[in-house]
Amino acid sequence: MNLDPLSRLTLSCRRIFLRDHEVLVQIGAHDFEKQKPQRVIFNVELFVPYAVSTPQSDALSEVVDYDFVREIIAQRVAGGHVELQETLCDDLASRMLAHPRVLAVRLSSCKPDVYPDCAGVGVEVFRMKDAP
């Protein structure tokens, strides 16, 4: 059976996720967005192969810690203003994908306060390491 890449990931990986992580971010291309930080809601999924994420001793060191995701976001946000959600998402996905155990990343950002007539505006990216 010849499966697409996402199906292969689903079958061979544990999916670690962080949902609705709300952070104040200096972000935006419009003048009104540059006046103060905005709420940004992040959703992150990390695909980690079972071979490197199945605990044998029930120890945190055997898995990818959720704190890793929160720290990457916090470090990037502390780096200063970013104009575009696309830039922010691409950067965060690259940083998370650099983790040796992470095979793929799905990440979205949503700015819920930009327009009064919608729940939010956002971007989603999916990145995967090249197959060995």
What string of DSSP letters covers 46-108? EEEEGGGT--SS--GGGS--HHHHHHHHHHHHHT--BS-HHHHHHHHHHHHHTSTT--EEEEE
- pLDDT above 80 for 51: yes
Render pLDDT for 61-102 as a digit per residue (tens, 0 to 9): 887 898 999 999 999 999 999 999 999 999 999 999 999 999
Q: Please tell me the CATH code under which domain 15-128 is placed.
A: 3.30.1130.10
pLDDT-based confidence at 1, cuts 50/70/90?
low
- The stretch 15-31 carries a mean pLDDT of 95
